[in-house]
Structure 1
Amino acid sequence: MEQTYKKILVGVDGSEHAMEAFRKAVEVARRNEGEVIVTMIIEQQMTTALTVAPLGNEYIEEQMTYGNDLLERCRLYAESVNFSKVTKDLVFGQAKSVLAIELPKKHGIDLIMVGQSGLNRVETMMVGSVANYVIRKAPCDVLVVTQPENESESTK
């Protein structure tokens, strides 16, 4: 049986890893005659070792402006490659659970594409990896998009 993906979710944060995942999601959707739901998730709380503090309105407004701009850039990219089936979704919440649980349920997602984190092993242990969480908790297939090492790193 051939697997087709009609509703592809991809989260973006402005990083090159996330943007590469979005570009590849557009191509997968095109081949499958599907659509891409691109989301930017605004974290509403900043967690420190001692407290969880709500973020101020100014921060949230800045993030909303940044998120809307980023989602619009994604839409414009898709348009530039003649792909119009892009839905933008700016969401508040915890990125891990929004990507893995909430949005797949809301949109009927059958594939989640995530960019591989740029974190090193210690940072991943301390911060956690959105991709790792999504892989473990998502109700659908997950594709982790990696970026080729750049020339300077591969020669070390």
Structure 2
Amino acid sequence: MMLQQYEHILVAIDGSYESELAFKKAIAVAKRNSAELYLIHIVDTRAFQNVSSFDSAMVEQVTATAKKTMDDYVAQAKAAGLDNVNYSIEYGAPKTIIARDVPKAHNIDLIMIGATGLNAVERLLIGSVTEYVTRNALCDVLVVRTDLNNQPALATTKAPTKEK
């Protein structure tokens, strides 16, 4: 009997400490499963809606920055011994892209996502992406709450403040 194996693991990269942890753990899971690691970065187009003229130069700059970041992540994953690493940059609302669109398009069978450090009020107002994905994804979702030593990560989310 075959053990459950994941073949296509999705991680959304958003520059947060939590997504960094999810990425690092996903490398280990992908290696154990000989799986493809698929990374996405989402340019939330709603952030541009307040810009009077939808400035294409701004979007191009954001895209160029995202591409450089993603190339760095791919290099890190390959340096860690993973061969099958791909990424895409998507445009739109993160919730549905992570939960539905990309998993359908790329046969994703596991989404690894960081636990967001939103407080109750923020969650009420904007709704946590993680919460939405765990409720609506059609595949397994692993919410990463610990660092690589399995220590609770949220205690360390705040960067140490420099002494004056």
User: Which TM-score bucket, shorter chain as reference?
Assistant: 0.7 to 0.9
Report matched runs for 1:63-102 at 5 Å: 63-102=62-101
* TM-score, length basis structure 1: 0.87
- Tell me which protein shows more strand as a share of its residues: 1
Contact 2:48–2:54, Cα closer than 8 Å, also in 1: no
Give the deviation of 1:59 after TM superposition: 2.9
Instruction: State the percentage of identical aligned residues.
Output: 35
Corresponding residue for 1:11?
12
Contact 1:17–1:115, Cα closer than 8 Å, also in 2: yes
Q: Which amino acid aligns with 1:66?
A: T
Q: Which amino acid aligns with 1:6?
A: E
- Ranges in structure 2 where 5+ consecutive residues have no aligned partner: 147-152, 159-164
The alignment covers a number of residue pairs equal to 150
Corresponding residue for 1:22?
23
Q: Distance in 1 between matches of 2:53 and 2:142?
A: 32
Q: CA RMSD in A?
A: 2.3
SS in 2 for 1:3: coil
Corresponding residue for 2:150?
none
- Ranges in structure 1 where 5+ consecutive residues have no aligned partner: none
1:54-101 per-residue CA deviation (whole Å, 9 max, x = no partner) reads 843233122202210111111111122121211111111110000000
Q: Which amino acid aligns with 2:25?
A: K
Against the structure 1 CA distance between its residues 55 and 15, is the aligned structure 2 distance closer, same or farther, given a 3 Å change threshold?
Answer: farther
Report matched runs for 1:1-156 at 5 Å: 2-46=3-47, 55-147=54-146, 148=153, 149-150=155-156
Contact 1:45–1:52, Cα closer than 8 Å, also in 2: no
Q: Distance in 1 between matches of 2:143 and 2:65?
A: 24
Against the structure 1 CA distance between its residues 151 and 145, is the aligned structure 2 distance closer, same or farther, given a 3 Å change threshold?
Answer: closer
1:116-152 per-residue CA deviation (whole Å, 9 max, x = no partner) reads 1122111111111111111111110000111422399
More deviation, 22-31/55-64 = 55-64
Q: Which amino acid aligns with 1:30?
A: K
Q: Which amino acid aligns with 1:150?
A: T
